[in-house]
Amino acid sequence: MKKKTLIAGLFAFSLCSMLAFSACSFPGQPASEPVREEEDEDDEELGEIEVSDKKVNLEVGEEFEVEIENYDDLKKVKIEVEDEDIAEAELDDEIITITAVSEGKTTITVSAKDCEDFEITVKVTEPEEVIPDEPDVTDATVGAGVYTSTFVIPDTVWEQAMGTDAEYFVEFLNGQEFTIDFVMTINDDGTAVLSYDCSQFAEDFVKFLDENFIDFMKKVFEMDGEEWDEEFEEAILSMKEELLEEFRKTIVESMEDLEDEAIDLTWEIRDDKICFTPEGDVEKECEILPDGSFVLSFTAEEVGHDMFGDKFELCFSKK
């Protein structure tokens, strides 16, 4: 009896399970949906971009670097300038290089994936005009000593030194400069002497001619309408030393008398200027420059010859 009852009970359980299953999956019968707990979906938080400077003030032409301090934690970093007529920006890894272009105000926006944009304000101004201080000439003075001035030789010197042959040298030199040193010796007793030395000029000229001798002779032939023949070269070279010495002597001798004619002057300091008076001539006022030099001008009449032109200026500095 017990056995029968147990079997009957198992049969009844199986039958109920089958009926329940059939009821759930019967065609046309909607399946019941599982009950799920509703989840609150919060908005995802955006990250932050961290930079070293939020405001940048520049003058036109200046550059400035801003660092993205958390660059390694960011993705797809970009920058955008609101007005590139005012400022330009370039991104190189974590460094933003800003260049000021013109006066005004603009914004540079820094963006990255899943981050809030960051704005850098850039203000550009024109640089302040720097007005140099006027030199205080009262601190500079001229006293006893030797002062020199280097004078570039004009064509009139060649005409004086070489006479009718001057055109050959002027044509050949074609801008090559030679100089003469003028010397102003100022004495404590209020006197001064102006002189110049032509010997160094003669040596410099002969050295230059020595180094360019054949070219010079070719120019002479050309100006005389003669055709240069290479066969002449050996014969001309054999006369080179003699010709060079002749040129040197010609220059020195033509200036010997002039070198002996030193100009005597008197001088005094007055109103921050040095005033020279050549013997029997008009006083010359020379402004004393901040470095203690001064400029003295002469006419051919005052010097006694026109070798250096009708008028020339000499800037004297202390040795």
Selected residue with higher pLDDT from 10 and 66 = 66
| Amino acid code (one letter) for 241 | E
Beta carbons of 110 and 117 less than 8 angstroms apart: yes
Helix or strand (DSSP H, E) at 53: none
Q: What pLDDT, on the 0 to 100 scale, is given for residue 124?
A: 94
Residue among 110, 118, 117 nearest 90 (CA):
110
pLDDT band at 39 (very low <50, low <70, confident <90, very high): very low
Tokens 């190189």 label which residue? 92
CATH domain 55-125 topology: Immunoglobulin-like (2.60.40)
Domain with CATH 2.60.40.1080 in the chain: 55-125
Q: What is the mean pLDDT of the chain?
A: 79
Closest CA to 84 of 45, 27, 122: 122
Measured distance CA(276)–CA(262) in Å, rounded? 15
Task: Name the band, by pLDDT with cuts 50, 70 and 90, for residue 15.
Answer: very low
Give the highest mean pLDDT range of 26-30, 80-84, 153-157, 274-278. 80-84
Structure tokens at 145: 């000593």
